[in-house]
Structure 1
């Protein structure tokens, strides 16, 4: 809990930091589907599964084309086992901090940065046929509480504040506690999102 409070405090500080560009700061909401799995050496049989992500963001202009964009997102991740009904669901509170560059071609932009994720929950489930049921187990103790990774993507922002984007984000740490150097399973997610911003960009 203390680690989560620290993470939330850091996120709040980043989002609320005063800048000389305060008049151009815009706040917003975003959300959409996620397509996630785990990747790495000796990761066999891990397929993609669908999930959801959503949260809040703030866009802080640094100049006419470059801006800083911290976000706080709830993100469902995990994987589906090939040829099986087994699914691993990992829920994170992700805090990406990205640099966003307006390309000058309409509202087209590109973005890239780093993110920290706090593991808010985990669950493994398997569908059984005899009897027909879904068996679930909580495996929170098997996963590290924090993930560190990267994020990059592109999108299109309308003048009225509505936007559409596609982003990839991946973890740089093992998703299983006690993993060896040979076991390099890491989170990977592709996220399609709609966003809405308020505030005037001067």
Structure 2
């Protein structure tokens, strides 16, 4: 019988997840919940970036090292979807020497969901203000793509129109893991309510075995509440 070994990155993500959960049992930890919006940016080397809006929600812990320094692991469910508009016009002469004009209009949408494990250093910059920096490990949970467009063809003054709509959850060639670095600011009030702004810079391609890497970058805006403070 062949024994399948876990993917190395998967072991890292699961290990980090276990670390994050164990933090919740540590006596000196602050515990809170957060949710917010993602501004997703996917970049290709030789193409304009695609962007879209997603969301994130989850929990965080904070273990103090000193009055100025703490370790903040988080466990988040997050969506990194993008939407690309299609608007292309092509003109050519067919075999009957007739001018043909084809126009395609529509939208292509990709939705990818992840379990994110940020492992952050929390630096108290001033009263209430925190700087967060550290790595982010992500395990892909779901994938869906859709394509909807209308094609209009005009030949010798006669116009015909056709429409197409399709959806797929085939994730062949889509990486199961992502690694990024995060940096951001957070302001927490005495009541425990907090506001955060964070930038994520991806280092791995979501497209496996592709010569042109597809890299994720994102901006997260979040609202949170620390409901256990020690």
Choose between structure 1 and 2 for higher RCO, CA contacts under 8 A separated by at least 6 residues: 1
Aligned equivalents of 2:12, 2:215: Cα separation in 1: 24
Residue of structure 1 in register with 2:103 after alignment: none
Residue of structure 2 in register with 1:34 after alignment: 38
Name which of 93, 110, 126 aligns with 2:147.
126
Instruction: Provide the TM-score with structure 1 as the length reference.
Output: 0.85
The secondary structure found in structure 2 opposite 1:168 is strand
Aligned length: 195
Name which of 158, 177, 190 aligns with 1:159.
190
More strand by share: 2
Instruction: Provide the TM-score with structure 2 as the length reference.
Output: 0.76
1:101 aligns with 2:123: yes
1:139–1:29: structure 2 CA closer, same or farther, 3 Å change rule?
A: same
Q: Do the aligned partners of 2:29 and 2:63 also contact (CA within 8 Å) in 1?
A: yes
- Gaps (5+ residues) in structure 1? none
1:18–1:56: structure 2 CA closer, same or farther, 3 Å change rule?
A: closer
Aligned equivalents of 1:77, 1:139: Cα separation in 2: 17
Mapping 1:1-202, distance limit 5 Å: 7-17=13-23, 22-42=26-46, 44-83=47-86, 84-104=106-126, 106-129=127-150, 135-180=166-211, 183-201=212-230
The secondary structure found in structure 2 opposite 1:13 is helix
Q: Which structure has the greater CA radius of gyration? A: 2
Deviation at 1:23, TM superposition (A): 4.6
Post-superposition CA distance 1:15-35 (Å, at most 9, x none): 41499xx55311111111111
- Gaps (5+ residues) in structure 2? 1-5, 87-105, 151-160
